[in-house]
Structure 1
Amino acid sequence: MKTRVTELLGIKYPIIQGGMQWLSRAELASAVSNAGGLGIITAATHPGKEELIEEIRKTRALTDKPFGVNISMLPELTPGDKTAQYMEAVIREKVPVLETSGRSPEKYVPQLKEAGIKLIHKVPAVRFARKAESVGADAVIIVGFECGGHPGMDNVTTMVLTPGAADNVSIPVISGGGIADARGLVAALALGAEAVVMGTRFIATAECLAHENFKQWMVNASETDTMIIQRSIRNAARVMKNPAAEKVLEMENRGASLDELLTIIKGQRGLSNLLSGDIQDGTLAMGQCVGLINDIKSVQEVIEDIVREAGTIIHRLQNMWG
């Protein structure tokens, strides 16, 4: 499979693993890269620059293939913006690919270019895709309302955003949100994307450190088992539907403050639950495509199945014009 994205990033398949806080560690990222995709580790998982550098070096020890680092440049919910520290780590280590989201990465572009680092900026709207291109991003990820994590505030789906972005920028478009299998990959390519990003699908893999309770919940879940919270703080998040998320929504509806909401949505609480297997107590980003996930596989099996099945789908479509 050859697209502008596979050529740009030096990867075999146009499949990128999403940057998921706490979960996108060296073991998962290296497995994705070794299987022919692009694995990504998440900077926000680490308390500072030195810890991120350690994770980057650990990833390099596990794969000789390209990988990336995700830096979320959204305003932090707690004091202390670590973006500059994380950027220093990525540039010092000359990580092949940087994925950013939130605020514009414009001020870092010259340093990234000088270091030979490919920049992908993730956005939830076509207008932001145009901005990403204008500041020098090498590619743009556009994520629809279906995605786990932060889908933006506009409630527009991947089906609409992907062709909209492809029509409005000349750099390669990567599609995310609602994609978990070969059908999603082929659909995204048909809509004008040149790769896909998947987060939720990679949680239900052997290499992901999430507790088995979460993975089993995913296998049994439907497409209606997620919900949107955090609209009141203009940081909308799609998460698994559980008592904790429903409590957050109830708090928002009565006008709870950020400090009140943080008692449930703060990251350390989520990490504790991910490791302990408590699926009721905290919030976990989860996309609507969870309803398409019926098993727990190795990362290599996930990617190989997608690539093989995509070929079958494309062949079937070609026969329609026989």
Structure 2
Amino acid sequence: MPFNTALTRALGIKVPVVQGGMQWVGYAELASAVSNAGGLGILTALTQPTPEDLRKEIRRCRRMTPNPFGVNLTLLPALVPPDYGAYAQVIIDEGIRIVETAGNSPGPVIKKLKAADCIVLHKCTTIRHAASAAKMGVDFLSIDGFECAGHVGEHDLTNFILLSRARQSLGVPFIASGGFADGHGLAAALSLGAEGINMGTRFMCTVEAPIHNNIKEAIVQAQETDTELVLRRWKNTSRLFANKVAKEAVKVERESKEGKFEEIAPFVSGKRGRQVFLNGDKDYGVWTAGQVIGLIHDIPTCDTLVKRIEREAIETMRKTSSLVTGEDAVPRPGGGAALGQNVNNPEAELYGVGKAKL
């Protein structure tokens, strides 16, 4: 086993890659495939209409993989909120010991899960929220950068800053989430202090992801600029795929004089978004996608993807370590030219050694 991080040890996985919970995507087909590949697959609890339906999905996933998998439970504002306590109880009763939580006021659910000895991974978009979750006793923090799909927070903090702040100030191990698609990203996350990575959009674009192939092809063809930030006006910002509906929603949001949510509600319907994954019409409704779509160029199986990430990460870390020379060695740039000779860089003395003499 080439990886030995706090995440692989705690979860019993081979590769420190977590498939994030995704609404209408996190079914047993995908979760079991990721777990079978050596990562951690995650079912999304609220894709199931009732706690009892979640129980059935957990049992179905268990028949599809002998390896560890988890369940995501996201707490979001709703006119008629789900019975989160009942979903959590099913998770506990079914012997699931790894739970990804996210959303508002997760304290009671986290307390319930920790009392049942569950390992809790909690997603946060700021260090302040991460510190609060750490006080609740979560085992891992999933640090969600501004690049991510779905709820990005309201502070626009990218992972380069968030991960380093997490390393500096948090006493809880953390996972990097948002903007990751390959082994180079995994190597970078580990270098910044993370114990692994969380990927959502990248796993949407795999053979086993239970969504229409047209949507996977749309991701492959997309650029990193093909996302939109919607609902910013109401401080509930979500990053969505920049299709016709999302662009129209942004237009209404920006041009509305009254700023009533009712004006934009028809455009951001979750029911229409779910149909996108079933009918394959990328413009039928809104759906989440991260900026990482610009890094996705194929539709592999989960096994192929995870093995590729593992190989790329190992190669990247070995290459990086080879750049470190002995303590007494003096690097000689330009194939042997001494520093300051202006062989390859005529301005070396101005911007290199010579700058100190000015």
| TM-score tier after normalising by the smaller chain length | over 0.9
Report how far residue 35 of structure 1 moved.
Answer: 0.7
Deviation per CA, 1:88-116: give whole Å up to 9, x if none.
Answer: 21122121211111124322344323322
Q: Does 1:196 align with 2:192?
A: no
**Contact 2:114–2:137, Cα closer than 8 Å, also in 1:** no
Unaligned 5+ residue runs, structure 2? 326-358
Residue identity matched to 1:155 = D
Q: Does 1:39 align with 2:41?
A: yes
Partner residue of 1:269?
272
Report how far residue 159 of structure 1 moved.
Answer: 0.7
Partner residue of 1:176?
177
Aligned equivalents of 2:99 and 2:202: distance in 1? 21
**Contact 1:94–1:116, Cα closer than 8 Å, also in 2:** no
Matched residue pairs, number?
Answer: 321
Partner residue of 1:65?
67
1:80–1:104 CA distance, 2 compared to 1 (3 A) = closer
**Contact 2:276–2:287, Cα closer than 8 Å, also in 1:** no
1:26–1:183 CA distance, 2 compared to 1 (3 A) = same
Partner residue of 2:122?
121
Q: How does 1:273-292 map onto structure 2 within 5 Å? A: 273-292=276-295
Aligned equivalents of 1:309 and 1:260: distance in 2? 46
Partner residue of 1:101?
102
Match of 1:101, SS?
strand
Partner residue of 1:296?
299
Report how far residue 165 of structure 1 moved.
Answer: 1.2
Instruction: Give RMSD over aligned pairs.
Output: 1.3
Partner residue of 1:49?
51
2:31 to 29, 32, 40: 29
Q: How does 1:223-242 map onto structure 2 within 5 Å? A: 223-242=224-243
Report how far residue 81 of structure 1 moved.
Answer: 3.1
1:16 to 15, 18, 34: 18
Length-normalised TM-score, structure 1:
0.96
1:309 to 309, 312, 322: 312
**Contact 1:121–1:141, Cα closer than 8 Å, also in 2:** yes
Deviation per CA, 1:215-258: give whole Å up to 9, x if none.
Answer: 11111111101111011222111111011001111121214533
**Contact 2:173–2:195, Cα closer than 8 Å, also in 1:** yes
Length-normalised TM-score, structure 2:
0.87
**Contact 1:226–1:241, Cα closer than 8 Å, also in 2:** yes
Aligned equivalents of 1:124 and 1:109: distance in 2? 18
Partner residue of 2:155?
154
Q: How does 1:253-264 map onto structure 2 within 5 Å? A: 253=254, 254=256, 255-264=258-267
Segment of structure 1 superposing worse, 185-194 or 80-89? 80-89
Residue identity matched to 2:21 = G
Aligned equivalents of 2:261 and 2:28: distance in 1? 32
Residue identity matched to 2:235 = R
**Contact 1:238–1:287, Cα closer than 8 Å, also in 2:** yes
**Contact 2:17–2:196, Cα closer than 8 Å, also in 1:** yes
Segment of structure 1 superposing worse, 133-142 or 231-240? 231-240
Larger radius of gyration: 2
Deviation per CA, 1:98-148: give whole Å up to 9, x if none.
Answer: 111112432234432332211111000011111111011011001100001
Q: Does 1:5 align with 2:17?
A: no
Report how far residue 203 of structure 1 moved.
Answer: 0.8
